[in-house]
Chain A
């Protein structure tokens, strides 16, 4: 019985802590909309312009190798396919979500960190590292790069993946998928790359 009472107390403590955590963290997100009072007053509202971007998720192909009989392996996070390799296609599809959470329309450009274009990221003979946009909210982006395009490294000209991403909530986001072609002569080892999604007011 003492064990049950302990569990009761611990779980109650966790529940209260979590509740406090949610209230403190989300009070500004309109989960709580109270604090009202009666009376009349003059209200002035100053709507500030803010350029803001939120990026959610990543693409993780996991571990694998190029088939011994293949000259390369092709991994496509949108098509959820792996050809010529042992990577697990059931982990796919995977996307990175790009959302305009500001109050102005923005352009979105992408480049990889360091020297991580296809050659720097994958290596070997004729590697490919490409990304493309995929519409998730119709009309969110005026011109979205919907076919795979090479990812530039940090010193090359960034890829303009979306020329104008709107800020209205119903149409302010799109997904990004990645395609890798890994040659059989690419050096083994873990590969990671970070894409920088750079946004500006348009």
Chain B
């Protein structure tokens, strides 16, 4: 009885040792346009989303921290699913320096750590940012180039912001497209105006036409009254194809071997229903075959497809390999055949790095499910089962006793 209780208590105590630390803060950011002598009050909450009490600490850091102060409590014990409210007052001087961003940070730290040789704790840093406008006209430029397929339109998203104190009347963006050092295209916007502190978004399209699949560079130039701004991005033109990047090159004789084929999508959309049929040949004669399947391959994704090669009837030596791939995307289908070689050797060698990783991660996968709640549920189930057994035995004993009396 005592041993059982001790065991149950141990089960109970072990999972309650904190192995998770966490902290959350809302809002996660505050931004202001700087004005001389600006002041304000800010209110944050620090959240405890764990199932135990935690101690949270608030402090201020950064360039402008000495202009701010915490007016509420700066630390405290926070109960599960509860919040600690933190108030900050700041009062900035006439000037805080050059044009651009300046800031101080509100920092929330959980004081407990996870222990061990290398333990950890969580911290959330909330920047309170102040933007000092540039004198006169000043624009900023950001470019986002999206991937596309051969013959499709490439979409360029252009973000322009006026960071100056004066409006810009005439701005224009030109995007030049390069394959390596060769210029292969150009698109331009019409002229547009950008007001003070205004953000403008423009979209330009360039048809990739017959340009070959691969990586391209886009260079955007924003011209306006005060000068030019530049931005770059790269994009890919895809083709409906899958490339075999690698496969298991060596297998053990007389055993079933795990076999990997590393595939890379060359397409800018999902590829689905990927089937690989693999033949192992000797002098053109098929010695063994197997197949593998993969439901989807995301755009440009590189992923392993795995199956098993039965080398029971293979002798040591070099064999030809033929991998036939069939795949589809949005109603289109494609297939291709890749040829290579494979060695059958006496001793089984490691077939792929991934196999080793899978084994390593097994232990971690178990610990993932070893949560406090799951353990408590298991304890309850065990106790209920024990009780049912005790009840059944008790009734059985009573029946027997009644029979004998």
Contact = CB atoms under 8 A, between A and B. Distances in A.
Interface of A: 1, 3-4, 6-8, 10-12, 14-15, 18-19, 21-22, 25-26, 28, 31, 48-62, 77, 80, 93, 95-96, 101-102, 104, 131, 175-176, 178, 191-201
Contact of A55 (B47, B121, B384, B386): B121
29 contacts: A8-B391, A10-B5, A11-B8, A15-B379, A25-B80, A26-B51, A48-B26, A51-B25, A51-B29, A51-B126, A52-B24, A52-B47, A53-B22, A54-B22, A55-B120, A59-B118, A80-B360, A93-B360, A96-B118, A101-B49, A178-B118, A192-B115, A194-B113, A194-B121, A195-B118, A196-B123, A197-B121, A198-B107, A198-B124
Contacts of A6: 1
A28 B376 contact: no
B215 interface: no
Given A3-B1, A51-B26, A26 B373 contact: yes
Contacts of A18: 376, 379-380
Contacts of B125: 198-200
| Chain A binding surface SS class | mixed
Contact of B115 (A7, A52, A58, A178): A58
Nearest to B114: A58
Contact of A101 (B24, B360, B361, B386): B24
B390 interface: yes
A49 B26 contact: yes
Contact of B120 (A7, A52, A58): A58
A151 to B, nearest CB: 9
B194 interface: no
Contact of A22 (B5, B27, B376): B376
A15 B384 contact: yes
A201 B380 contact: no
A6 B4 CA distance: 13
B347 interface: no
Contacts of A7: 1, 4, 386, 390
Interface of B: 1, 4-5, 8, 19-29, 47, 49-51, 80-81, 107, 109, 113-127, 360-361, 363-364, 367, 373, 376-377, 379-380, 383-384, 386-387, 390-391, 394
Nearest to A95: B364
Contact of A50 (B26, B118, B380): B26
Contact of B122 (A54, A60, A200): A54
A3 to B, nearest CB: 6
Given A31-B373, A197-B123, 10 more contacts: A8-B387, A8-B391, A14-B8, A50-B27, A52-B24, A55-B21, A58-B120, A59-B116, A193-B118, A199-B123
Contacts of B26: 48-51
Contacts of B124: 51-53, 198-200
Contacts of A199: 122-125
Contacts of A131: 118
Given A96-B114, A102-B24, A55 B51 contact: no
A19 B23 contact: no
Contacts of B118: 58-60, 77, 96, 131, 178, 193, 195
Given A22-B373, A50-B25, A101-B24, A192 B122 contact: no
Contacts of A19: 380
A148 B27 CA distance: 33
A55 B114 contact: yes
B383 A15 contact: yes
B17 to A, nearest CB: 11
A49 B123 CA distance: 16
A6 B226 CA distance: 88
B117 A49 contact: no
A189 B127 CA distance: 40
Given A14-B383, A93-B364, A48 B116 contact: no
Nearest to B8: A14
A65 to B, nearest CB: 14
A175 B360 CA distance: 13
A1 to B, nearest CB: 8
B383 A11 contact: yes
B120 A195 contact: yes
A194 B373 CA distance: 27
Contacts of A58: 19, 114-120
A21 B376 CA distance: 9
A96 B360 contact: no
A31 to B, nearest CB: 8
Contacts of B49: 52, 54, 101
B379 A197 contact: no
Contacts of B27: 48-50
Contacts of A198: 107, 123-125
Most chain A beta-carbon neighbours within 10 Å: one of B119, B120, B377: B120
